[in-house]
């Protein structure tokens, strides 16, 4: 099993890039945010508990995420390449991940940091639209759907994510700086970090990431 972490601020493009890269190299794109949104939509106990945090732009408690990732690792096959998008997000989650992967006799192979300035991030998050059904991501100016408000992939309605409202975006960025940004220095010190310029088209950034993974 190969484990690659995609690090970056909210709106850095982790999900968009991971989806493209995963298709190209037959990896599994694991988005903890998407898993939580799914749990919220299904109204599971974990989803109901998570929604309060997500709506405010706060992080869901570490134990919920660690249990989710533990289950994923247990179910993964030895030949799987896992692209972790949105986990770990705290130093505590990173330490728990080390324990989990050691239990499965694997290690974190690489951490790709998508570097995007805050001005670009704000523009991306404010213009982001997601499919209410399949979760595909669009942007009103940089990645518009063929028909306004409609998903190109499944024809369902495009919506603004609850946590993409301006006041929530601001809080998510503060939370990122305080709790997640320290992981960049940590993985850098472990010589696992590769910087990628995350400004550019989704295809270009995905191509840069895919090239790194193929090395
Ligand atoms: P994302 O789709 O990655 O932007 O995640 C959306 C929201 O899900 C975040 O703002 C958090 O509330 C929650 N979330 C996703 N991943 C994590 C994580 N690793 N730890 C805590 N909360 C998370």
Mean pLDDT by 10 residues, the chain (215 residues): 96 93 91 94 92 94 94 91 97 97 93 95 92 92 94 96 88 96 97 96 94 90
Of all protein residues, the one whose alpha carbon is nearest to atom 2 of ligand 1 is 33
Select which of 37, 51, 124, 172 is catalytic.
172
| Residue 215 falls in the annotated catalytic set | no
What is residue 167's predicted lDDT score, i.e. its pLDDT? 83
Select which of 20, 124, 128, 129 is catalytic.
128
- Judge whether 196 and 112 are in contact, CB under 8 Å: yes
Ligand 1, pocket-test mutation among 7, 29, 30, 36, most atoms within 8 A of CB: 36
For residue 50 the two structure tokens come to: 């998570």
Ligand 1 binding pocket includes 59 (Cβ within 6 Å): yes
Of the candidates 56, 47, 14, which has an alpha carbon nearest to the alpha carbon of residue 169? 56
- Judge whether 44 and 50 are in contact, CB under 8 Å: no
What is residue 12's predicted lDDT score, i.e. its pLDDT? 95
What is residue 196's predicted lDDT score, i.e. its pLDDT? 97
Of all protein residues, the one whose alpha carbon is nearest to atom 12 of ligand 1 is 54
What is residue 214's predicted lDDT score, i.e. its pLDDT? 87
The pairing of beta strand 81-85 with beta strand 137-139: unpaired
| Residue 172 falls in the annotated catalytic set | yes
Ligand 1 binding pocket includes 187 (Cβ within 6 Å): no
What is residue 25's predicted lDDT score, i.e. its pLDDT? 87
What is residue 9's predicted lDDT score, i.e. its pLDDT? 97
CA 69–ligand 1 middle distance (angstroms): 13
**Ligand 1 atom with least separation from CA of 175:** 10
> How do the residues of the chain divide into helix, strand and coil, expressed in percent and rounded to 5?
50, 20, 30
What is residue 62's predicted lDDT score, i.e. its pLDDT? 95
Of all protein residues, the one whose alpha carbon is nearest to atom 14 of ligand 1 is 33
What is residue 165's predicted lDDT score, i.e. its pLDDT? 87
Select which of 14, 51, 124, 129 is catalytic.
14
3-state secondary structure of 76: coil
DSSP-H helix ranges across 45-127: 45-56, 62-75, 91-103, 118-127
User: Could you give the C-alpha distances from 93 to 31, 44, 89, 138, in angstroms and in order?
Assistant: 15, 22, 6, 29
**Ligand 1 atom with least separation from CA of 36:** 8
């Amino acid at each position: 099993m190969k484990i690659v972490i995609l690090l970056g601020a909210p709106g850095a493009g982790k999900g968009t890039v991971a989806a493209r890269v995963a298709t190209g190299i037959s990896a599994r794109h694991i988005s903890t945010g998407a898993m939580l949104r799914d749990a919220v939509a299904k109204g599971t106990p974990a989803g109901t508990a998570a929604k309060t945090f997500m709506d405010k732009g706060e992080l869901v408690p570490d134990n919920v995420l660690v249990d989710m990732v533990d289950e994923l690792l247990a179910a993964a096959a030895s030949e799987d390449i896992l692209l972790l998008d949105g986990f770990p997000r705290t130093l505590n989650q990173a330490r728990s991940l080390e324990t989990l992967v050691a239990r499965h006799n694997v290690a974190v192979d690489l951490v790709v940091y998508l570097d995007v300035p805050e001005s670009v991030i704000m523009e991306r998050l404010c213009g982001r639209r997601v499919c209410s059904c399949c979760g595909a991501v669009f942007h009103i100016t940089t990645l518009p759907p063929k028909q306004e408000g409609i998903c190109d992939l499944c024809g369902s309605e495009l919506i603004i994510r609850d946590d993409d409202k301006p006041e929530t975006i601001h809080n998510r960025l503060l939370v990122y700086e305080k709790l997640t940004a320290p992981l960049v220095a940590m993985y850098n010190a472990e010589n696992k970090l590769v910087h990628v310029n995350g400004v550019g088209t989704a295809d270009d950034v995905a191509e840069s990431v895919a090239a790194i993974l193929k090395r």
